[in-house]
Amino acid sequence: MEIKIGEDINTRIDLYLSEKLDFSRSKVVKMLKDGVILVNGKPVKNSYTLKKGDIIEVGEYHEEEMSLEPENIPLDIVYEDEDVIVVNKPNGMVVHPAVGNNHGTLVNALLYHSKNLSNINGEFRPGIVHRIDAYTTGLLMVAKNNKAHEVLAHELEEKKTYRKYVALVWGVINEDTATIDAPIGRDINDRKKMSVTRINSKDAITHLRVLKRFKEVTLIELKLETGRTHQIRVHMNYIGHPVVNDPIYGNRKLIDDSGQCLHAKEIGFIHPTKNEYMEFTSELPDKFINIMNKFD
């Protein structure tokens, strides 16, 4: 279907199409993200304001039914009280369900573990304040009620949450410390990837420090000022040192199928009701260490 805008309507594309096509706004947003809807032959954000002369192309879209069920999946819980859960996520576990992946997620496990989870992020993301990639391991904070969720989300937004990652990256980094300040947005050639770009991007800042240098790789720790999708993986690939065993970024050989060598090692935050600073740490998983030992 093709729609031509004949006048200046000064309306966001998601609002315009949800009314024009009688679709829910969330469905329109999904179609925009998946590149099913294009404006003048290019993907746009859901906040794009339509202009006179714009041509909207709407492709075929078949939405899969989603369900959300509690599942008895073991969780490595580092800390829990009436407001917060800190969980150590294993390699390969997706944080929340999505179309085509309804089962085996952290959310499925959390629903079985606790009857109390915040619902601010919607039906399919109960308790989820922030995410890490499926093949990134390590610490996540989960909110058990909406008040806790609001406080923790505000801390993240205000950059008050402390997050430290450890990664093994290809190549030898000569500098002992570095800061990568490069905006990240959706890759214009592959909508499933992110990239450093000035187009429809957001500021992204990563600080790194070298822990150990090997002949072919470097062990580093990273601290985030911002929390963009795939931020560490994109930034390290951008400077020519992609994360070892990353299947998407860097085009480097995979050592095995045990996941990328990126671990959310430490997290710190002010407790939403106790108003006390709390910090947690987790050890590098065995699979990460096994890959690192291959280069020692």
Query: Residue 50 and residue 94: Cα distance in Å, rounded?
Result: 35
133 is annotated as an active-site residue:
yes
In terms of C-beta distances under 8 Å and separation of at least 24 residues, what long-range contacts does 70-75 make, across chains too?
70/108, 70/111, 70/112, 71/103, 71/104, 71/108, 71/109, 71/111, 71/112, 72/109, 72/112, 73/104, 73/108, 73/109, 73/112, 74/109, 75/106, 75/109, 75/110, 75/113
Residue of 14, 54, 133, 246 with catalytic role: 133
C-beta of residue 25 within 8 angstroms of C-beta of residue 3: no
| Residue matched to tokens 């187009």 | 199
Determine phi and psi for 20, rounding to 5 degrees. Answer: -65, -40
C-beta of residue 291 within 8 angstroms of C-beta of residue 245: yes
Q: Are strands 162-170 and 184-186 parallel, antiparallel or unpaired?
A: unpaired
237-274: b (≥16 Cβ within 10 Å) or e? bbbebbbbbbebbbebeebeebbbbbbbbbbbbeebee
209-228: b (≥16 Cβ within 10 Å) or e? ebeeeeeebbbbbbebeebb
**Two tokens, residue 157:** 């937004």
Determine phi and psi for 36, rounding to 5 degrees. Answer: -75, -30
Catalytic residues: 133
